[in-house]
């Protein structure tokens, strides 16, 4: 029979890294699993993180790398593997990847979130051919070209500011007449001379055959349709939690977030949630790392109470 871990941490974004650091410092026998090759999760796709205390203006890549290195320095690194299922067998949890089966007394679910899609004609067909969900990854392909960013949150506005430095012209298309992004980001966006904001509009079709050539917009107030000619479309319309694969393991809300408070305690004994996967008000790096710490402390308490 395979060895029994005290704790299995699933995910290596900021919440998972923080959980790994707390687990190793708490001398827990820990297993850490992630399906990516580099630690950091979603923050790796962020050009600049300017609200993480002590590290103003750090790039997402540098922050993710520094966090991963911190954990590795303490002697813990993620095992690469896509977790397919977690089974609650009472006092033991079984974690299944394609080739392995692991056993742990507790599990911290820190599996993060992925970008939401618009599900409009042309989006899937032209993905990678002008349609992108990551401006920092793909922005350089649009040097001196035109780009459209869709969305009104922090990511859309950050993406537009980033692209404005590279592209000839950037349009931001938002379905309302007010952004939900932080005010400081909105101010930076408005200072970009080559950015035009198109309010009250949704994208209804992405046009092109081998490459994106345009986006058809519909004004939600007037119903009027227009086409913007563009080389790239960056979609930043929010995130969805990576919880579909969990089945009935833990109670979730209607959007698929695991119901758990600050302590990370879920409705299933021995299973804890941390970071973007759990129900919470603010999904940022600073709250994710706090979650990782709290979830491990809750797991430690559970281990003592159930020894």
Interface residues toward ligand NAP, by CB under 6 A: 51, 118, 151-156, 158, 175-176, 180, 202, 236-239, 283-284
Q: In angstroms, what is the minimal distance from the CB of 48 to ligand NAP?
A: 9
**By Cβ distance, which residue is nearest to ligand NAP?**
153
Q: In angstroms, what is the minimal distance from the CB of 132 to ligand NAP?
A: 14
Instruction: Output 103 or 115, the one with its CB closest to ligand NAP.
Output: 115
Assigned token pair, 240: 């969805």
Phi-psi region of 43 (alpha: psi -120 to 50; beta: other; left: phi over 0): alpha
Instruction: Output 145 or 180, the one with its CB closest to ligand NAP.
Output: 180
Residues 6+ apart with CB under 8 A from 147: 139, 163, 167, 169, 170, 171, 230, 231, 232, 233, 234
Q: Distance between CA 100 and CA 291 in Å, rounded?
A: 27
Q: Which of 34, 111, 134, 231 is catalytic?
A: 134
Instruction: Output 204 or 303, the one with its CB closest to ligand NAP.
Output: 204
**Strands 239-241 and 113-115, sheet pairing:** antiparallel
Residue whose entry in the numeric block shows the structure tokens 């308490």: 301
Mark whether 134 is an active-site residue.
yes
Mark whether 137 is an active-site residue.
yes
Q: In angstroms, what is the minimal distance from the CB of 150 to ligand NAP?
A: 6
Residues 6+ apart with CB under 8 A from 136: 45, 46, 47, 60, 159, 162
Q: Which of 34, 111, 138, 291 is catalytic?
A: 138
Instruction: Output 103 or 175, the one with its CB closest to ligand NAP.
Output: 175
Neighbours of 280 (CB within 10 A): 18
CB 9 within 8 A of CB 31: yes
Q: In angstroms, what is the minimal distance from the CB of 152 to ligand NAP?
A: 3
CB 246 within 8 A of CB 273: no
Residue whose entry in the numeric block shows the structure tokens 């809750």: 298
Instruction: Output 276 or 299, the one with its CB closest to ligand NAP.
Output: 276
Q: In angstroms, what is the minimal distance from the CB of 180 to ligand NAP?
A: 4
Q: Could you give the residue numbers annotated as active site? A: 134, 137-138
């Amino acid at each position: 029979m395979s060895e029994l871990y005290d704790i299995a941490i699933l995910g290596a974004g900021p919440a998972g890294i923080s959980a790994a650091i707390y687990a190793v410092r708490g001398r827990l026998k820990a297993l850490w699993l992630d399906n990516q090759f580099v630690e950091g999760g979603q923050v790796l796709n962020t050009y600049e993180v300017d609200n993480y205390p002590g590290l103003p203006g750090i790039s997402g890549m540098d922050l993710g790398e520094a966090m991963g290195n911190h954990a590795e320095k303490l002697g813990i690194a993620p095992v690469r593997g896509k977790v397919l299922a977690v089974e609650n067998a009472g006092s033991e949890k079984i974690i299944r990847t394609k080739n392995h089966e692991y056993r742990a007394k507790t599990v911290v679910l820190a599996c993060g979130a992925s970008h939401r899609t618009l599900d409009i004609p042309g989006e899937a067909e032209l993905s990678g051919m002008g349609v992108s969900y990551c401006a920092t990854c793909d922005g350089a392909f649009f040097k001196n070209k035109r780009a459209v960013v869709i969305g009104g949150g922090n990511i859309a506005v950050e993406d537009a500011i980033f692209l404005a430095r590279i592209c000839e012209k950037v349009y931001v298309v938002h379905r309302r007449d007010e952004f939900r992004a932080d005010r400081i980001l909105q101010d930076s966006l408005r200072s970009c001379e080559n950015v035009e904001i198109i309010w009250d509009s949704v994208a209804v079709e992405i046009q092109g055959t081998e490459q994106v050539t345009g986006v058809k917009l519909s004004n939600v107030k007037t119903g009027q349709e227009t086409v913007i000619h563009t080389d790239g479309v960056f979609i930043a319309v929010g995130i969805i939690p990576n919880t579909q694969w969990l089945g009935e393991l833990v109670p979730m809300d209607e959007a698929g977030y695991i119901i758990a408070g600050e302590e990370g305690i879920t409705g299933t004994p021995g299973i804890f949630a941390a970071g973007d996967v759990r129900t919470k008000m603010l999904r940022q790096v600073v709250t994710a790392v706090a979650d990782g710490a709290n979830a491990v402390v809750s797991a430690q308490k559970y281990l003592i109470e159930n020894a």
